[in-house]
Amino acid sequence: MKLKYYPYILKLKDQFTISVSSRTTTHAVMIEVQHNGLTGYGEASLPPYLSEDQSSVIGFLNKINLDSFNDPANINSMLDYVDSIAEGNNAAKAAVDIALHDLLGKFLDIPLHKYLGIHRRDDIYSSFTIGISDLKKIKQKVDAASGFKFLKVKLGAENDREIITTIRELTGKPLFIDVNQGWVDRYFALDTISWLAEKNVILIEQPLAKEKIEDTRWLVERSSLPIIADEAVQELSDLEKFKDVYSGVNIKLMKTGGIRQAYKMMIRAKELNLKIMLGCMAETSCAITAASHLAALADWVDLDGAELISNDLFKGMEMKCGALIIPNLPGLGVEKIIK
């Protein structure tokens, strides 16, 4: 089995501003695992607030030698081996995990969701993200999202209430609010949440800094809306650590290290009665499609990452009126559109 990779820069359609940063690209590393004429595709997406970058991913991938593996169905041994190479490097591991799942599905001739025992559904709706922006731009984005049933709004700006008031003049659709640790004070957070709760807001993602565990616990006890961990919970061990703090968790392949770990986290979150959001980075349709096969296990889905970029490399999961059209083809069901 052979592993190939190449760096790739995702061009964002719009400058993307969240409470802590602003940018127009996201770095990525694309990988391909080849075996007997079959190719499995994978991807590591590397937003700047994570610790990995293109060189760390490439450094990690260079340590992998799949020469001794000859059975795509032996995926767990391969993933165990990759895991054992080094701690962390979850985005790099996710890239390999995604490619190996794609290869496995093609080898077994079954779609990924079927391999995972997940029933394919057509009534799963993704939110569409409205970044922090000037009010005129926000109006344009709400218009552009008119087919979506849920909007995800980035707050933690200086004019949070003005942003929401502007959006509410345009649409009554349910909102996910993502603060990206942008609120400093727990009383301010609780007051803002109470205000938002009257405005058809469904959930609040990462309102306070991930280190503020006791403040978050205080907030969750008093909040009428579920508080979802994003930055605070990367992988399964974090879930155990914070299971009594947050109401739910945003699971992303790049954080968990891929599909195998994301699936385990979703099952564990259900056992713990935690709400599950399935999220993403800006990613091509390769990683987004991989995540979409897990979507039926989530309470809320935010898989608009490929909609945010202008240079997608793949055709895969598509959206119709905000609903995921999950491929029913072997593996991920993606097709490379730019060679």
Chain residues in the site for its own copies (CB under 8 A): 121-123, 146-147, 149, 170-174, 200, 320-322
How far is residue 178's CA from residue 155's CA, in Å, rounded to a whole number?
6
Q: State the nearest-atom distance from the C-beta of 147 to its own copies, in Å.
A: 5
**Cα-based distances in Å from 127 to 23, 88, 149, 174, 324:** 21, 29, 7, 9, 10
Q: State the nearest-atom distance from the C-beta of 192 to its own copies, in Å.
A: 22
Pick 30 or 295: Cβ nearer its own copies: 295
Pick 200 or 311: Cβ nearer its own copies: 200
Pick 153 or 249: Cβ nearer its own copies: 153
Query: By CB neighbour count within 10 A (0-12 exposed, 13-18 middle, 19+ buried), where does 310 fall?
Result: exposed
**Cα-based distances in Å from 308 to 9, 157, 304:** 13, 21, 7
What residues pair up with 229 in beta bridges, in sequence order? Answer: 249
SS (H, E, C) 47-98: CCCCCCCHHHHHHHHHCCCCCCCCCCCCHHHHHHHHHHHCCCCHHHHHHHHH
Residue by residue, DSSP assigns 257-271 as TSHHHHHHHHHHHHH
Pick 138 or 233: Cβ nearer its own copies: 138
Q: State the nearest-atom distance from the C-beta of 124 to its own copies, in Å.
A: 8
SS3 214: helix
Pick 212 or 293: Cβ nearer its own copies: 293
Q: State the nearest-atom distance from the C-beta of 140 to its own copies, in Å.
A: 16
Q: State the nearest-atom distance from the C-beta of 280 to its own copies, in Å.
A: 22
Pick 41 or 148: Cβ nearer its own copies: 148
Q: State the nearest-atom distance from the C-beta of 171 to its own copies, in Å.
A: 5
Q: State the nearest-atom distance from the C-beta of 123 to its own copies, in Å.
A: 5
∠ CA 4-256-84, nearest 5°, is 60
Pick 122 or 198: Cβ nearer its own copies: 122
Q: State the nearest-atom distance from the C-beta of 304 to its own copies, in Å.
A: 15
Indicate the length of the chain as a whole number: 339
∠ CA 159-163-168, nearest 5°, is 150
Which amino acid would we find at residue 36? N
Which amino acid would we find at residue 106? K
Pick 173 or 260: Cβ nearer its own copies: 173
